[in-house]
Structure 1
Amino acid sequence: MTTSRQLLIGDAWVPAASGTEFSTFDPATGKQIGVCADAGTEDVNRAVAAARTAFDQGAWPKMLPAARARVLWRIADLLEERGEALARMETLDQGQTLSFATDVSVSFAVETFRYYAGWCTKIDGTVKSVSIPDMLTYTTREPIGVCALITPWNYPLLLASWKLAAALATGNTVILKPAEDTPLTTIELARICVEAGVPEGVVNCLSGGAETGRALVAHPGVDKVSFTGSTKVGKGIVAAAAGDLKRVSMELGGKAPSIITEEADFEAAIAGSLEGGLVNSGQTCVAYTRFFVPRSMSDAFAEHLAAAAATLQIGPGLEPNSVVGPLVSRTHLDRVTGYIEKGISEGARLVGGGSRLDGDLADGNFLQPTIFTDVTDEMTIAREEIFGPVLSVLPYDKLDEAVARANDTTYGLGASIWSKDLASAHRLASAVRSGMVWVNMSPLCDPAMPWGGMKQSGWGRELSGSGMNEYTEEKAVWISLRN
């Protein structure tokens, strides 16, 4: 029998006030794996009230930094202790391979909480030197208040941890709202927070769909919204938050370019491009999707990329040999295959893949890694975020041209450079308009490095000290020393 998961509001796990629920499914088989409470407006009101009371009257914002750090460290320990079960749950709910869920999603969540546990005792202001005599002036950093943390379906546990660890380290109270496609590990994370000693009302968790998220964003009791998801939804959040000028930080869509130079290590570029393009079956905001390759090399690059992709094992994430797992839902699979059809109709040349899987895997949301070449900048597959295993090779004649075309996009989240010329790599990294650039490597991340984008890829940063500052307000204090 499938267990029904409830909402965490204040100190209690409760059903939705309406009694409604929704199901979540294994994308590898289409089978139901969970039932969750579907939060409505009444539940949002109660969760915000609980978070507001915990912030205004509770101990958490005023807790000694070292004590708050111990709670975050305990959360990390519990995540680590339950890592095997959490990784399996993430694979079943989202589809990512078990090795990826174990080595990246769970491990990075653990390290993120430990990283921000260390920041609790280092949230400092500064003494300022002003040009007015007999003044002592300094700044402090204070928590913003009640934060709505809205996460996407591609990295449920990982991205919830990024937001939650920084928000808690700085003394805020929160309402977690996971994507309805993949709520299970976020609900478990909230359960771990309670067990670790987070006080009543500091962490609340509401599972539900888009209406739940909209109610949170519009609620006057929410002081800050942190959102990861599509640019379209992000723009809606900005509009909704304008009425009361909520603080908003967002990591939105991407269309990451990869510039392969003539002096690049060809084999390394193929291997790294494939890994960077197909991470989590291409369902990654910084997945490498547009490969700008010298014209003399472009056909060979596309053919080698397709040949390498064809060797990758496609299958359920729980199968130990699987490298490419399913897409998150049948709806999303239909969306991605629609882009493949549009690429063909607009004149791109399909070099490899492009088909759904049949046979034993027909009930899952599986798609062959798809390689296009002879792609031009105006084609839909070169301009819109596909969020699936679809890679496009675009030939170029001059390097300056490649940079200009790489920047000719509304997005600016991630990019990659492939070159054995260190000076050229530095120049290109500077020239590309992107919040993050990886040189001769696949897209990695670390708690100490900021994560975020330019242009319509979002506002603000996550991770590092920059991410922590997104959850604080800076206060200026003036003290007269005059008699």
Structure 2
Amino acid sequence: MGAIQKTITPIDDSLYVERPYASAAEIEKTLKAAKAAQRAWKGVAVADRQKLLTAAVNAFVSHRDQIAAEITRQIGRPIGQSPGEVRGFEERARYMIDIAPRALADIDVGPKPTFTRFIRREPLGVVFVVAPWNFPYLTSVNAVMPALMAGNAVILKHSAQTPLCAERFGEAFKAAGLPAGLFQHLVLTHDDTSRIIGNNAIDYVAFTGSVAGGHAVTRAAVDRFIGLGLELGGNDPAYVRHDANLTHAIENLVDGAFFNSGQSCCGIQRIFVHRDVYKPFLEGFVDLTNSYKLGNPLDKATNLGPVVRSRAADEIRGQIEKAVHAGAKALIDPKQFPADKSGTAYLAPQVLADLDTHNPFMQEECFGPAVGIVAVASDDDAIAKMNDNAFGLTAAIWTENEAAAIRIGDRVETGTWFMNRCDYLDPALAWVGVKDSGRGCTLSQVGYEYLTRPKSFHLRTKT
């Protein structure tokens, strides 16, 4: 028997799923099938692709309750929160399917006597999607659905923590009648993942994960002229301006910091608060954090579950200790959260104050329920501190002044700028990072540009 991938649930550290890794022969067969299927799929009308993929979405959401329960068991997200991912999957999938005719339409470049000229969007070929565990469907749907709609074939490699997600995709496409070979999934080692990226059968890689993972993908593709979509880490900032609605800001930002136990690339980790409202904001933030219930995510009363594994919890505790050693003040007593236990994946949320921007916590990504809060003197001070970081995925402001929000947003180095909300992806808007948060784009009409190549038609109609 070959090697086995094991998925340990963070709920109680028991074995939840095990699957064999793909063999070299299985990988080769998958790549050949994808190439063959894509050649036929390219010729299928966009309207017909829409019908098939819409049927797949319908098939997927018909199992919403079971899928939500599987999310909770695989990653430990509270059962009351997991259904939201199924809703988000549906919203993004349907939007990208619906806009495909417009996004993929020929581009008319204008009249020219005796010529017909236009630009057509050609599919790239085979798209290799490497997806993470933290939002297993929301991250993968961003690439899987539009890639297929654009006329590509897709091979999905999902995280070892969330193998059932890849299987759910496959079941939905099979139920919809998608031609064989167009969507396939593989259970892969890191080495086999790198080898596939380097294989000539792959025409584009869509990767979501860590900065280190993004570098590994880039190295694997270094000898190939293919596109790479890299959605990497974050240490996302928020600014609470002097004119903010504090009640709304506190509710939003506590949720933005601790939803999914803080395991979100676009979760809020750094909060800059105008000094005029710093004290009431901080007090309200701590009070609301202390009201959270840490516990078994299968309990409907739980709103803060375990992180993905006990080792991750230990790493987060280490980051908090390092921040305190560098001068931060920890405002949450872990004893307020009885489920917090060393050696398990359960740990209390933490609010850090009195940090400067050189504190390691303000510079490194912390993938857990911890947040730093800092007072600032002005808009300019907030902008400088928000930009003082290697990441740039999202940033947010709480203010009652839209003009000020736009003016400040123009100066903040980020892929998405929010006002009075955070940690949400609108599928009509481009999802993109800057700096170490990656490159490329998913979602929106712009996202289709990365899954196709332009082909120009220059036709002389009279000679």
TM-score bracket for this pair, using the shorter chain length: over 0.9
1:260 aligns with one of 207, 230, 240: 240
Instruction: Give me the whole-angstrom Cα distance separating, in 2, the residues matched to 1:359 and 1:425.
Output: 40
Q: CA deviation at 1:250?
A: 1.4
1:440 aligns with one of 420, 424, 435: 420
Q: CA deviation at 1:282?
A: 0.5
Q: CA deviation at 1:360?
A: 9.4
Is the CA contact (8 Å cut-off) linking 1:147 and 1:224 kept in structure 2?
yes
Q: In the alignment, what sits opposite 1:6? A: none
Is the CA contact (8 Å cut-off) linking 1:307 and 1:352 kept in structure 2?
no
Q: How many residues align?
A: 462
Tell me which amino acid in the other structure corresponds to 1:128.
V
1:294 aligns with one of 251, 266, 274: 274
Is the CA contact (8 Å cut-off) linking 2:8 and 2:16 kept in structure 1?
yes
Say which SS state the counterpart of residue 80 (structure 2) adopts. Answer: helix
2:85 aligns with one of 96, 100, 105: 105
Q: In the alignment, what sits opposite 2:127? A: 147
Say which SS state the counterpart of residue 100 (structure 1) adopts. Answer: coil
Is the CA contact (8 Å cut-off) linking 1:315 and 1:361 kept in structure 2?
no
1:232 aligns with one of 191, 212, 215: 212
Does residue 68 in structure 1 map to residue 49 in structure 2? yes
Tell me which amino acid in the other structure corresponds to 1:311.
S
Q: In the alignment, what sits opposite 2:349? A: 369
2:76 aligns with one of 83, 95, 98: 95
* Cα-to-partner distance string for 1:314-344 (whole Å, 9 max, x where unaligned): 1222211111111011221121111011111
1:29 aligns with one of 1, 8, 12: 12
Does residue 412 in structure 1 map to residue 392 in structure 2? yes
Does 217-226 or 34-43 show the bigger shift?
A: 34-43
Q: In the alignment, what sits opposite 2:21? A: 38
Aligned pairs for 1:252-331 within 5 A = 252-331=232-311
Say which SS state the counterpart of residue 447 (structure 2) adopts. Answer: helix
Does residue 450 in structure 1 map to residue 430 in structure 2? yes
Name structure 1 gaps, 5 residues minimum.
1-17
Q: In the alignment, what sits opposite 1:9? A: none
Does residue 463 in structure 1 map to residue 443 in structure 2? yes
* Cα-to-partner distance string for 1:215-244 (whole Å, 9 max, x where unaligned): 222222100000111112112212322311
Q: In the alignment, what sits opposite 1:158? A: 138
2:36 aligns with one of 30, 44, 53: 53
Q: CA deviation at 1:357?
A: 6.2
Instruction: Give me the whole-angstrom Cα distance separating, in 1, the residues matched to 2:235 and 2:216.
Output: 20
Instruction: Give me the whole-angstrom Cα distance separating, in 2, the residues matched to 1:283 and 1:359.
Output: 18
Does residue 397 in structure 1 map to residue 377 in structure 2? yes
Is the CA contact (8 Å cut-off) linking 1:190 and 1:204 kept in structure 2?
yes
Taking structure 2 as the reference length, the TM-score comes to 0.95
Is the CA contact (8 Å cut-off) linking 1:51 and 1:203 kept in structure 2?
yes
Instruction: Give me the whole-angstrom Cα distance separating, in 1, the residues matched to 2:113 and 2:49.
Output: 38
Q: In the alignment, what sits opposite 2:157? A: 177
Tell me which amino acid in the other structure corresponds to 1:39.
A
Taking structure 1 as the reference length, the TM-score comes to 0.91
Tell me which amino acid in the other structure corresponds to 2:71.
E
2:2 aligns with one of 2, 6, 19: 19
Is the CA contact (8 Å cut-off) linking 2:134 and 2:264 kept in structure 1?
yes
- Considering only aligned residues, what root-mean-square deviation do their CA atoms show, in Å? 2.0
Sequence identity percentage: 27
Q: CA deviation at 1:36?
A: 1.3
C-alpha distance 200-272 of structure 1, shift in aligned 2 (>3 A): same
Does residue 138 in structure 1 map to residue 118 in structure 2? yes
2:314 aligns with one of 316, 320, 334: 334
Does 164-173 or 117-126 show the bigger shift?
A: 117-126
Name structure 2 gaps, 5 residues minimum.
none
1:351 aligns with one of 301, 324, 331: 331
Q: In the alignment, what sits opposite 2:107? A: 126
Does 165-174 or 293-302 show the bigger shift?
A: 293-302
Instruction: Give me the whole-angstrom Cα distance separating, in 1, the residues matched to 2:290 and 2:25.
Output: 50
Instruction: Give me the whole-angstrom Cα distance separating, in 2, the residues matched to 1:356 and 1:202.
Output: 51
